[in-house]
Amino acid sequence: MLLTLLRRISVRQILVAGCLVTLLYALLSRGVYHSDEHYQILEYAHMKLFGTPTVDHLAWEYPLQMRSGVQPFVAWVVCRGLTAAGIWSPWLAVTLLQLLSGLLSVVVMLFFWRTVRGGLSEAQSKWFLLTGFFLWFMAYLHVHFNAEMLSGNLLLLLAALTIRYRRSDSRQEFRWGLALGAAAGALFIVRYQAGFALLGYGIWLLCFNRRWRLYAGMVVGVAVLLAVGMAADRWLYGEWVFAPWNYLQENILHARMDLFRHEPWWYYLTAPVLEGGIFFGLLALVATLVFFCRHPRHVVTWMLIPFLLIHFFLAHKEIRFFFPALFFVPWFLVDLFRGQGERFSRRGWQWVLGVLAVLNLGAMVYNLAQTTPDISFYCMLRDYCRGRGEVVALNLAEETTYCSRMQHFSGEPRVTEARFYLPRNLDLRHCATSAELEAAAQQLTAAGRQVLILSADSGLADHSPLTLRKINWSPYPAWVVRYFNFNDWTRYAVRSKNAYEMVESPVDSADRESGRR
């Protein structure tokens, strides 16, 4: 049935449906895959726009000047446009950034498809587009505005430009060099780890494409983009820095990466399978390895093998470090099953494809329907603060909340704040001890301020000397909590992220009223 449907639909229909799905994800998807996407882009842009968080409360990488300023600058431009228009909203800003990311993903994927479709049949072109648009992790990641996704698009663009150059008549090599150098430079200034892929790319050029006019153009293209990156870093840090060197010095030479969780060398052989879904992750892993074996001289092989292999030898491992390679997966899958069309027409394989399609659809719907816990928490704060005067939120500095966390990675411990989504009338303050927090809460309440206490203690209202009312919130719909909360599993997302409203006791109210008289 699935194959019959594939024969009936056209490439144009797949393109239209795929663009609509990407648009839907850009509008409805909320939350980040990893906190770096928030703290190293959105919070930097918010600081440049509103002055908060202050430099003392930014992530530990900021004082070390080791992160690129390119994406924070793009985010700042979007946010600045909204404030200039008088329609500032962090939610609208994120939606616009996701629309930009989704648009870039679609344009680059179609550019790559048009580059390689000469070697694909009509059915293979359809499978390429179907997996590129509708494979659940591709649909989810296409719209995320983070360094992994942007570098993945730029890596795919660099590969497509290189393939097109190789097919050209080798005229205007300097112009081709400018284009390739600009793509390579943009890739590097967005994510410095992509330098491993560029190392392999440079070796491939020296081995299989020694053209000095091309190299001259590439030097110019790379230099221009490095200058753009340095200008963005100058904007972010307020002084001229060379952030790539700071990144190498701090993470590698000073071994700050080793302060994070360590994983065994075989982590990258199992994590893609587990996080991508057993069937989808395994297919992606096998397709990638098969492509390397079938095409040992291909430029994509030479770019990805060093990029992937070097990460095996780094102690700190995360599956997101491999995300830039995911943009090639649709092409790898088509190559894996090249010439296997007759096999999939058998009844058994059709059942397998049907089951995979249903599982994939379920994952796509889940990612659209389920809001991440932190976003649900920010929505609760937004609703609570709407229509009120100044609200002061207090928390213990050592406790982790969705609004702040204590970091110990660089010198003195520092409280890192997440203010991007916070309402403008919410003032966030941190206390060193419980006694200090209680005194501050009483003082602020006596002054007529509304006080919230953010705490990891789910039973704080029962034993605190303050009069508190717990604010109930949940990232899950009410019907899920009511009918499917087996063994109270929904509590795990919120059990250490509690919010309490300071309620004035009758005695305090009477004392304050008598004082007015």
pLDDT tens-digit series, residues 318-351: 888 989 999 999 999 999 988 666 666 666 767 7
pLDDT at residue 514 above 70? Answer: no
Res 333: pLDDT: 93
**276 in the same domain as 235:** yes
**395 in the same domain as 357:** no
Res 513: pLDDT: 47
Helix axes 90-116, 11-28, angle to 10 degrees: 160
Res 54: pLDDT: 93
- Three-state DSSP at 502 gives strand
- For residues 162 and 157, give the distance between their C-alpha atoms in angstroms, rounded to a whole number: 9
Res 200: pLDDT: 97
**390 in the same domain as 340:** no
pLDDT at residue 103 above 60? Answer: yes
pLDDT at residue 4 above 80? Answer: no
Res 316: pLDDT: 84
Q: Which pLDDT band, with edges at 50, 70 and 90, does 3 fall under?
A: low
Question: CB of 404 within 8 A of CB of 428?
Answer: yes
Q: Considering 341, 369, 397, which residue would you say is the last residue of a domain?
A: 369
User: What's the mean pLDDT when you consider all of the chain?
Assistant: 89
Q: Considering 321, 342, 369, which residue would you say is the last residue of a domain?
A: 369
Q: What's the mean pLDDT in 74-102?
A: 96
Res 281: pLDDT: 82
**487 in the same domain as 362:** no
**359 in the same domain as 492:** no
Phi, psi of 10 (to 5 degrees): -100, 165
Q: What's the mean pLDDT in 53-75?
A: 94
pLDDT at residue 512 above 70? Answer: no
Q: Considering 369, 388, 417, which residue would you say is the last residue of a domain?
A: 369
**352 in the same domain as 387:** no
- Give the C-alpha distances (Å, rounded to integers) separating 427 from 383, 424, 430, 453: 15, 8, 10, 12
**414 in the same domain as 331:** no
**250 in the same domain as 186:** yes
Q: Which pLDDT band, with edges at 50, 70 and 90, does 516 fall under?
A: very low
Res 496: pLDDT: 86
Distance of CA 273 to the CA centre of its chain: 20
pLDDT at residue 56 above 60? Answer: yes
The 10s digit of each residue's pLDDT in 238-275 is 999 999 999 999 887 777 776 777 888 788 888 877 77
Q: Which pLDDT band, with edges at 50, 70 and 90, does 517 fall under?
A: very low
**416 in the same domain as 328:** no
Cis, bond preceding 465 (omega within 30 deg of 0):
no
Res 509: pLDDT: 44
Neighbours of 335 (CB within 10 A): 20
Query: Which is it for the CA torsion 421, 490, 321, 323, positive or negative?
Result: negative
pLDDT at residue 376 above 80? Answer: yes
The 10s digit of each residue's pLDDT in 389-439 is 999 999 999 999 999 999 876 667 889 999 999 999 999 999 999 999 999
**362 in the same domain as 392:** no
Q: Which pLDDT band, with edges at 50, 70 and 90, does 482 fall under?
A: confident
Question: CB of 508 within 8 A of CB of 445?
Answer: yes
**509 in the same domain as 422:** yes
Sheet holding 498-502, edge to edge: 426-431, 391-396, 450-455, 498-502, 468-471
**Number of domains composing the chain:** 2
Q: Which pLDDT band, with edges at 50, 70 and 90, does 506 fall under?
A: very low
Q: Which pLDDT band, with edges at 50, 70 and 90, does 212 fall under?
A: very high
Amino acid at 297: R
The 10s digit of each residue's pLDDT in 440-473 is 999 999 999 999 999 999 899 999 999 999 998 9
Domain with 510, as residue range(s), is 373-516
- Give residue for tokens 């659809």: 361
Res 381: pLDDT: 95
The two beta strands, 414-417 and 404-407, are: antiparallel
Kindly report the pTM of this predicted structure. Answer: 0.92
**249 in the same domain as 235:** yes
